[in-house]
Amino acid sequence: MLLNKRPIEPAPAQSGIVKPRVLLALLCMSLFADTAVAAGQNDEKPQIDASDPTRIVTFIGAGPKYTQYVDDSNVRELQYSLTLGLGAKDMVTVEGGYGYQNATRKYGWTTTDIRHFHLFRMDEVEKGYRGWGSSFQLNLAGSLPGTDGQNILGLGASPAYALGNGIDIYPIGMIMNSWDKKFEHYNGAGLNFSPMLSIKLDYWDGAFINIWPQYTRYFWGELGDLDAGGGQLRLVLGGRFTATLLWRALAFYPFDKNLRGYTSEGGFDPRGRQAYLFRIEQYF
């Protein structure tokens, strides 16, 4: 009996943006290796408070993320997070992922977020004003459908307030600028307001919850002409396995327009979606 053999199709060409992201990941790993060696020389292992986003820390984390769209398509990815503390005042974070989109049956990079945080002042007080820091972030579009919309550049700052009983609030404000993928077309500028509420809990070791609504409204440029606005509610639940090994579970519930899925040619991605992520983090 003769078997019908299907011809082997050549693999699709990789996007040109893959190589820079691979180089960026390798550079981060090299920096983390040096930091880990230095940290290993210190026998003291202070407990990490992951509920406070203003703490200057160094860690590497990874875990699965699942994004479900209302048209039954989904993206399943392995997401990484690399954070490097630079002295006592600065911190750089790189987050991204690589995954599979079931509708197109394609593998590729998802969005990549690069952030720099500078701490001007932050005091430990039971109640009242604690201090403030500034933030710079660059969000790069991915290659998979649903992640391949905008590149966003943001600059902003946040004060911090202790409300008592382990509750803190961080009213973050930023100026946002948007470009199409590969920075070929400028979409406009707007303002982002993202007040994060952080609550320490007593249910398990290191327990905390973050309630973080994030919303951006565009006022200038093409997106401003469309009176475009969108955001998400981000919920975070975390805890500790050991003094330096932590976990966190995240849920994302978008509302209004999908700004990350916008392109100047195709407009807004009309599909609703929600996402879930579980990540384990090793601190140094």
Closest CA to 160 of 21, 53, 25, 18: 53
Residue 140 domain flag: yes
DSSP run (H or E) holding 171: strand 167-180
CATH number where 68 lies: 2.40.230.20
Q: Which domain covers residue 256, as residue numbers?
A: 18-283
Whether 3 maps to a domain, the answer reads no
Count the domains in the chain: 1
- Which tokens belong to 63? 């875990």
CA dist 232 → 56, 72, 256 (Å):
26, 20, 8
Q: Is residue 78 part of a domain?
A: yes
CB 192 within 8 A of CB 154: yes
What letter does residue 183 receive in the DSSP assignment? G
Query: How many other CB atoms are there within 10 angstroms of residue 94's CB atom?
Result: 19
Task: Tell me if 281 sits within 8 A of 275, measured CB to CB.
Answer: no
pLDDT computed for residue 180 by the predictor:
92
C-alpha to C-alpha distance for 65 and 254, rounded to whole angstroms: 15
User: Is 2 inside any structural domain?
Assistant: no
In-domain check, residue 13: no
pLDDT (0 to 100) of residue 26? 54
What integer pLDDT is reported at residue 27 of this predicted model? 53
Q: Is 4 within a domain?
A: no
128/5 Cα distance (integer angstroms):
72
Task: State the pLDDT at residue 21.
Answer: 59
pLDDT (tens, 9 = 90+) of the chain, 284 residues, equals: 444 444 444 444 444 444 555 555 555 555 454 544 444 444 456 778 999 999 999 999 999 999 999 888 999 999 999 999 999 999 999 999 999 999 999 999 999 999 999 999 999 899 999 999 999 999 999 999 888 889 999 999 999 999 999 999 999 999 999 999 889 899 999 999 999 999 999 999 999 999 999 999 999 999 999 988 999 999 999 999 999 999 999 999 999 888 877 888 888 887 778 999 999 999 99
Residue 93 maps to a domain: yes
Q: Is residue 6 part of a domain?
A: no
Q: Give yes or no for a contact between 79 and 110, defined as CB atoms under 8 angstroms apart.
A: yes
| pLDDT of amino acid 41 | 45
By residue count, the chain amounts to 284
